[in-house]
Amino acid sequence: MPVTALDPRTALIVVDLQAGIAGSPTAPHAAADVVARSARLADAFRAQGLPVVLVRVTARPDGADAVPGRTDASASGAAPLARPAGWDVIVDELGGPTGQDGDIVVTKRNWGAFYGTDLDLQLRRRGVTQVVITGIATSIGVESTARQAAEHGYHVTIATDAVADRSAADHEHAVTRIFPRLAQTGTTEQILALLTA
């Protein structure tokens, strides 16, 4: 269904569009298209004087700040992934490491952008009641952030053509099964039209 409304104090949250993630293959939308659509939305939000939040994920090279707990994925006993320098730098299209003047940069060490960060505080100080979310990966950082935003009482909107995942199936599951229970969904163009109406 298309997005029906944007609150007067709506913020854009861009999840994990950083060098080490935006350069990876994604589906069903190419990462470059997700970045371009997110940048269009960011420019439009800034032009309306609305907050833009740029979220990046990082980790210590030794893995000491990794999320604890046993998982099937961790059972292999593999060492933490080595990340090249600059892996966690926000892409230039969104303003680089610190974004543009007035942007809020949030650094997370978990899937979602709320847990362990000051994101909720930053949004509430600005009177935000709704968030529009874009980014990579749909079923990981974007979905986790959307769940947390809904649990914090925000109206949530997902720009479905400005999110992508490692696989089309993972993306499709989040968009068709999870997001309708947490949010309204719509395209970048639909959101831009409401924003400038």
Taking the complete model, does pTM exceed 0.85, yes or no?
Answer: yes
Task: Give residue 112's pLDDT.
Answer: 97
Cβ-Cβ contacts under 8 Å for 71 (sequence gap 6 or more): none
Regions of the chain short of the pLDDT cut 50: none
Domain holding 100, by residue range, is: 10-59+85-196
Task: Give residue 57's pLDDT.
Answer: 93
Among 74, 83, 76, 67, which Cα is nearest to 19's?
A: 83
Is 69 among the domain residues? Answer: no
Among 107, 167, 136, 106, which Cα is nearest to 32's?
A: 136
The upper half-sphere exposure of residue 148, i.e. CA atoms within 13 Å in the direction of its Cβ, equals 19
Task: Give residue 5's pLDDT.
Answer: 95
Q: How many domains does the chain have?
A: 1
Is 79 among the domain residues? Answer: no
Strands 130-136 and 104-108: unpaired
Q: What is the CATH number for 21?
A: 3.40.50.850
Is 52 among the domain residues? Answer: yes
Is 75 among the domain residues? Answer: no
